[in-house]
Structure 1
Amino acid sequence: MRDDQDPMPIAPEAPLPGDCCDSGCDPCVYDLYAEEMAAYRDKLAAWRQRHPQDDA
């Protein structure tokens, strides 16, 4: 598979300090970010297995 058909996953953007309202929202933006990061790490690990020569 060509790299342009299977691009390296892009990490989600971290919430800005002002994105959390500190009112105990469920889920909090930081909880959502943690979930997105976990999914990103899984996708990146799978991508690295498919592209060992591109491992940086």
Structure 2
Amino acid sequence: MRIPQILKVMPVSKSKFWLMVQKGEFPKPIKIGRSSFWTIEQVQAYLRERTGNS
């Protein structure tokens, strides 16, 4: 997933999102060239953790 897709399901700004990554609150991206990607599993796991659902 790319940032625009993630920000559709997470109500945070782009700068807040990168701050979360920097602080280790959100998984680090997979880098391919200059682009950053996250797996769907990483995003789903983060959202489950935040909402308390297993």
Using structure 2 for the length normalisation, give the TM-score.
Answer: 0.31
Using structure 1 for the length normalisation, give the TM-score.
Answer: 0.30
Who wins on radius of gyration, i.e. which is larger? 1
